[in-house]
Structure formats: C-alpha cells, structure tokens
Amino acid sequence: MVTTMLSYGDTLLENEFIESLPISKLSSHFLNSDIITFNLETVISDSITSSIDKAFNFKTSTRNLKDFKSILSDKLLVCNIANNHILDFGVEGLKDTIENMIKLDFSFVGYSQNLKVEEGILFREVNGIKFAFLGAHNADNVTVHKPGLTSLDESLCAKVNYAKHKSDFVILHLHWGEELSVCPSPNQVKFAHMLIESGVDVILGHHPHILQSIENYKNGIIAYSQGNFQMITYDYSIKTKISMILSFEFNQKKVSYKIIPVVINKRIPNLIQDPINAKLYSEYMIEADYYFKKNSWFMFYIYTSKQYLIDSLQAWKIRLNKREKRLVLKILRWLLSKKTITMFLFLPFNLVFVNSISRKIIRKSKEKTL
C-alpha cells in the first residue's frame, strides 16, 4: 500500500494562510496526503511576552495551531521545532510551545529530553508503513544536564541508525545552512551524504529562506533547502517568494517524489500557474543546480558573501531601532568574527563574478532549449 507525504519549508501558521487554505488551489494537495510535515518557525503561545534580543521574534496563537489541525484532522501532522526561532521568547517560550502541542495532540520533532540515542525520535505507522521522524539544529542543544534541541552533529548518525532499525523510512528535518544562499556548503553536502549512509531516506532542509538543489544520493533524497512557505522576511526579492512543496510516495521498498512549484504573495503560498512565475522558478533552479554542481568553498563564499553582509546589516538596523542593550559591543564582535572577515574578503569576487555567472547560466540554458 502507498503512503503519501507533503513537505514544505519555513512556516508561521498565520491567520491569513489558515483561512485561505480550504479555498486555495493548494488544498487538494493537502487533502490528498496522508502525512504533512514542515518547519514551524515560531513559538506557539498565548501567554509568554518576554522576548530575547534579536531582529525578529515570532509568536503564533494556539488557536491557529488548533484551526490548522482541524482542517487536516485526518492527517498525520509533524512539525520540526529545532530552529533558530523556537527560542525567540526564551526557554519558557519553548516549554510553552511543547505543552501546547501536547495538549492539541500535534506531533513534533527536534527536541530531546536527554542524550540517549532513542531520544527525539517520533515513530508512527501509516497505511502499514513504519516511519521515523527526527529534527535537528545547532542552538540550545540537549546536554547531560538539561533537555533541549536535538544536536546537528555526528551524534545524529547514531540516532538515525537506531531509527532505521525500527522503521521502514527515516525522515530527517535539518535547520541549517546560510540564510539567502542559493547553495549548501561543502560541509553540508558531506554531512548529508553521511546521514544517508547511516540510514536516512529523506532529508528536508530549511533555514536559508530560499530554495536550494535537490540531490538523489544512493537510495536517499536530499532537499538542501525548501525555502520559505509562509514566512516574514525583509528581503523582498523574488528568490524569497519562489518556493516548492515536495510530494512523496512511499511503498514498502522505495520512495519517490515530485516537485510542486509555489509562489508566495503577501505571505500566502499559491501554485505557480502563470508563465512569468514559471519562468522565474525555472531560471532560479537552473542557477541553484549550477552552484550545487560546482560545490566548493570558493564558490560558496563568492555567492554568499554579499547577501550575508546585506542581511546582517539589515538585522543590525532593526535591532538598533529596537534600542537593544549593549548593541555596539555585539556589532564589534560580529565585525571581528572569522566568518564576517571571510565574507568581506570574498565580497569583491562576488561583485565581479556573480552577475556575469548568472547571465551565462541562463544563456546556456536557453541555447539548450533551442
């Protein structure tokens, strides 16, 4: 028997999205899937008000989670909470989110009570097929002394191996990579391959807020970044609005998938059905695939440097407007960090080469279609 799964990227579960879903052209894809899994990029709370110092702090009402679940009440809903916004309202916000999810019987991954290998794994059986779900991110991680987010490091391989021996398929959410970068780093590619070899069947990446390539490696599928789905961003370029849903089919022996291109308008995702957005999506993915095939630290830093610096400066501006305490010291630490210095060193290469590379990629693509 076949089990179907829908997956997508960064999501806030805002009112407008939930209200639009039943009448959206996306609704049939949701309603025809057995499993829906995504990255929940927000705290779920009605009571927590004290936020931490950062540019954006996201919080969504428990009613939104309840309404979303009621629309899809017969589906297995699994969200990843291992990300950089689940702690926007501190540890209390994280705890409140978990309590609210348990109350509403909403499945989640990305959190571990302790360092035991079996911790942080969600096992579910759908249509006779056994699934194991995990999520990981490097922030406020679980330790010997306290629970926390599941660590994104080599210890994950042991969890994956354990999960694989108790399931037919292992689905792993990874919140990783560089924001607004079209390509994963060489370390990400290497680690993704290691995880597939450890037993993962599907890796679902998110955090960059834009799409990255999908790789078929051995018997596994790696979506390095699924981009935004229903998200706030101060980068209003088309690359943050072009996205995708992945529709998977599982039988007892194999998994296959198809891509459903999406465009985001006023924070609401819609199917791409017009030729203009279809062309933009196609050209963007051609560029993403080019950088992935050329995967190297040199190409990674060339592409990433300019956007990293712009993104960081915009974030500092927002934090300045919030009158955040000790901000000058924080900015100095950022300026003197190894990462920022490296990005500044690669900035001239970006300014000289990236636009010409993009034009060359599109020109070659057009020549192939003639």
285 plus 304 within the same structural domain: no
Q: Where are the alpha helices (DSSP H) in the chain?
A: 15-20, 27-31, 62-71, 90-103, 155-164, 186-198, 275-293, 297-321, 327-335, 338-369
Burial of 144 from C-beta contacts in 10 A (0-12 / 13-18 / 19+): exposed
**Among candidate residues 293, 319, 347, the one where a domain is terminated:** 293
137 plus 159 within the same structural domain: yes
Please tell me the distance from the alpha carbon of residue 303 to that of residue 292, in angstroms, as a whole number: 11
- Domain span at residue 163 reads 3-293
171 plus 244 within the same structural domain: yes
293 three-class SS? helix
CA–chain centroid gap for 302, Å, is 22
138 plus 187 within the same structural domain: yes
pTM of the model: 0.96
Predicted confidence (pLDDT) per residue in 276-295, tens digit: 999 999 999 999 999 999 99
197 plus 156 within the same structural domain: yes
Predicted confidence (pLDDT) per residue in 157-172, tens digit: 999 999 999 999 999 9
309 plus 264 within the same structural domain: no
Q: What is the mean pLDDT of residues 303-320?
A: 95
Amino acid at 220: G
Predicted confidence (pLDDT) per residue in 52-91, tens digit: 999 999 999 999 999 999 999 999 999 999 999 999 999 9
Q: How many domains are there within the chain?
A: 2
85 plus 16 within the same structural domain: yes
77 plus 176 within the same structural domain: yes
